[in-house]
A and B are shown apart, each in its own frame.
Chain A
Amino acid sequence: MICVIAAACGERHHSESAFRQRIATAPAASARPNETPRAETRDPVQLHALTLLDGKGQTKQVNCVSCHSLAPLDKLREQQLSVHGGERKLSHGNLTCKSCHDQDHNDRLTLVGGDTAPMTEAITLCGQCHGPQYRDYKRGSHGGMKGYWDRSVGTRERMHCVDCHDPHAPAFRPLMPVLPPHGSAEKAR
């Protein structure tokens, strides 16, 4: 039961044409207001989706809430992680399902201190244990972003924690590097 929902900006990599469109319609530099200091603008943090494998082995983007609002939570067991496709185990330190998931509400997560938060605000939960990374994230030195550095002339979109870190196995998955440097006289070491 994998639902495929592309959130409005639900892909990790925006299509080229959409991006170019944004650049083309970007306000001209002369429209930049000259006042200092700039108003603080919060980056819109979009909870993008987990990248999962469907039955055919193809990657799909799935919004967590779409399933978690349907499945009764008390039945959550580690073995069921495999429903997300592929070999999935819970390997997030010493955490169990209950460490993060609210037993009474499928679409909420438990915060430290007993509060709950909707899944769209998972970043608050992540930040409670991973303070340094959350602080760095807020200060722009952790986590991808696209858009404008100068927020007085344009917006910026930030990645959400779960865009890169599967909360069940958060270790960043290795990638193959692209664009190997080479030329007519390049010699590998």
Chain B
Amino acid sequence: MTFTTRTTGTTRQKNHALLYPRFLWQLFLNSFRGGPAFYLWMTCLTAIAVVGLGAYAHQVNEGMRITALTDHVSWGLYIANFTFGVGLAAGAVMMVIPAYLYDDHEMHDLTIIGEILAIAAIALCLCFVIVDMGRPDRLWHMLPFIGRFNWPISMLTWDVIVLNGYLLINLHVTGYLLYMRYLGRKPNPKVYVPFVFLSIGWAISIHTVTAFLYQGLGGRPFWNSALLAPRFIGSAFITGPAFVIVLLQVIRRVLGLQINDRPIGTLRSILRITIPVNLFMFCSELFTALYTGGHHSAALSYLMFGHEGKTALVPWIWTALAFNASSALLVHSKVGLRGLNAACVLAFVGVWIEKGMGLIIPGFIPSTLGEFVEYIPTLTEWRITAGVWALCLLLLTLGIKAARPVLEGELAARRAEHS
């Protein structure tokens, strides 16, 4: 008895228990196939990741005293990057919304890129959480039923659920599409499309929950603002599209895929709204703090202008503002692709600073007892941060590489439709 399939390829339904591991093995082998440029890129990333691992091993062994964190500023570079990473993961869904909600067909073919970016970004977040933990050997304490999971009171437990859920959704969709491609079968929309729609709402939730982590703390007036979650979503929808615009061009050049400019144009339209909105929300916070004055303005005042000679963060935030403002101008003016890429890089870095160093650190300065203790990350922290980013770029590269057949197939089908 044979099953006919709708495309060319194998015709017999084989045992998935045998096929799936073989598929994974092929993915693994595929990671080592490539030209010299690919090897150079991957070797550099691996080297950086190993440096990061070495620094992390030292941190685990000697304790976090080798970071610049103190009881005054107890979260720093790692959580800053974690926060940014959640935004990037949420923003990756910005490809999905036009594709599935607005029937943008050209975007539809490329959504798998956004989903792979989401997977890599969530991996980034999980890595940063682990490197920030004082006792990574006790990670199992957070498992529901096995450990003690303080749900629903602790926002951190909500964050664990939504981040891992988002990872699973994207792994499922991507894995399914890749697996079907491997089998040479057409994917069944019922298996993955509901999850794609789910990922849209879920993406908003991951970043809202992450914002709620900070927003609910009465002892930290800099964070205790209702505007924090909207700011997070707004900046997530800058970093996602900005990264994808550049990523699409890289894929176009490196993989030789024929991606035309329309999806890029769609993402650019999104940036045209989200970059100014993000700036507007920042200005709103600025006004509230500085016009009212008093204790509420202490952290923002320190961030923007320093306090009694302590100005470590001032250059950072003004750079971020300059980057965000110039990217807003660039994205609205009639510049070509090069100008757009500049705007994307500026916006990406600008938001990284503003959301990372410009949001997490000032939350702790002044401390709850009014003390101004500054935080300047150590080399160890930079190494570990670089290592985690390198690891996740590795994952992203491998993911895109694995998705190449899917992309090629989709794009070829689209071209065949139009010709």
A185-B68, A186-B373 known; 8 new pairs, CB 8 Å cut-off, are A183-B70, A183-B71, A184-B70, A185-B70, A187-B374, A189-B308, A189-B371, A189-B372
Task: Confirm or deny: B65 has a beta carbon within 8 angstroms of a beta carbon on chain A.
Answer: yes
- The interface residues of chain A lying within 8 Å CB-to-CB of B68 are 185
14 residue pairs bridging A and B, Cβ less than 8 Å apart: A183-B70, A183-B71, A184-B70, A185-B68, A185-B70, A185-B72, A185-B373, A185-B375, A186-B70, A186-B373, A187-B373, A187-B374, A189-B308, A189-B372
In the complex, per-residue mask of A170-189: 1 if CB is within 8 Å of any chain B CB, else 0: 00000000000001111101
In whole angstroms, how far apart are the Cα atoms of A186 and B369 in the complex? Answer: 14
- The interface residues of chain B lying within 8 Å CB-to-CB of A184 are 65, 70
Nearest A residue (CB) for B66: A184
Count how many chain A residues have C-beta atoms less than 8 Å from C-beta atoms of the other chain.
6
Q: Is the interface of A mostly helix, strand, loop or mixed?
A: loop
A contacts, CB < 8 Å to B = 183-187, 189
In whole angstroms, how far apart are the Cα atoms of A54 and B68 in the complex? Answer: 51
- The interface residues of chain B lying within 8 Å CB-to-CB of A185 are 68-70, 72, 373, 375
Q: Considering the complex of A and B, which 8 residue pairs feature the smallest CB-CB distances, nearest first? A: A185-B70, A185-B68, A187-B373, A183-B70, A184-B65, A185-B373, A186-B373, A187-B374
- The interface residues of chain A lying within 8 Å CB-to-CB of B375 are 185
Nearest A residue (CB) for B308: A189
Nearest A residue (CB) for B67: A185
- The interface residues of chain A lying within 8 Å CB-to-CB of B71 are 183
- The interface residues of chain B lying within 8 Å CB-to-CB of A183 are 70-71
Shortest distance in angstroms between B76's beta carbon and chain A's nearest beta carbon? 11
In whole angstroms, how far apart are the Cα atoms of A189 and B373 in the complex? Answer: 9
Shortest distance in angstroms between A189's beta carbon and chain B's nearest beta carbon? 8
Shortest distance in angstroms between B379's beta carbon and chain A's nearest beta carbon? 15
In whole angstroms, how far apart are the Cα atoms of A187 and B365 in the complex? Answer: 13
Shortest distance in angstroms between A181's beta carbon and chain B's nearest beta carbon? 10
In whole angstroms, how far apart are the Cα atoms of A189 and B310 in the complex? Answer: 10
In whole angstroms, how far apart are the Cα atoms of A185 and B308 in the complex? Answer: 18
In whole angstroms, how far apart are the Cα atoms of A183 and B69 in the complex? Answer: 11
In the complex, per-residue mask of B54-71: 1 if CB is within 8 Å of any chain A CB, else 0: 000000000001001111
Shortest distance in angstroms between B72's beta carbon and chain A's nearest beta carbon? 8
Shortest distance in angstroms between A69's beta carbon and chain B's nearest beta carbon? 52
Shortest distance in angstroms between A182's beta carbon and chain B's nearest beta carbon? 11
- The interface residues of chain A lying within 8 Å CB-to-CB of B308 are 189
Which B residues, 340 to 379, have Cβ-Cβ distances below 8 Å to chain A?
A: 371-375
Nearest A residue (CB) for B65: A184
In whole angstroms, how far apart are the Cα atoms of A184 and B62 in the complex? Answer: 14
In whole angstroms, how far apart are the Cα atoms of A182 and B217 in the complex? Answer: 27
- The interface residues of chain A lying within 8 Å CB-to-CB of B65 are 184
- The interface residues of chain A lying within 8 Å CB-to-CB of B70 are 183-186
In whole angstroms, how far apart are the Cα atoms of A184 and B71 in the complex? Answer: 11
Shortest distance in angstroms between A28's beta carbon and chain B's nearest beta carbon? 32
Nearest B residue (CB) for A187: B373
Nearest A residue (CB) for B376: A185
- The interface residues of chain A lying within 8 Å CB-to-CB of B372 are 189
In whole angstroms, how far apart are the Cα atoms of A79 and B72 in the complex? Answer: 54
In whole angstroms, how far apart are the Cα atoms of A187 and B70 in the complex? Answer: 11
Shortest distance in angstroms between A52's beta carbon and chain B's nearest beta carbon? 40
Nearest A residue (CB) for B375: A185
Which B residues, 228 to 248, have Cβ-Cβ distances below 8 Å to chain A?
A: none
Nearest A residue (CB) for B70: A185
- The interface residues of chain B lying within 8 Å CB-to-CB of A189 are 308, 371-372
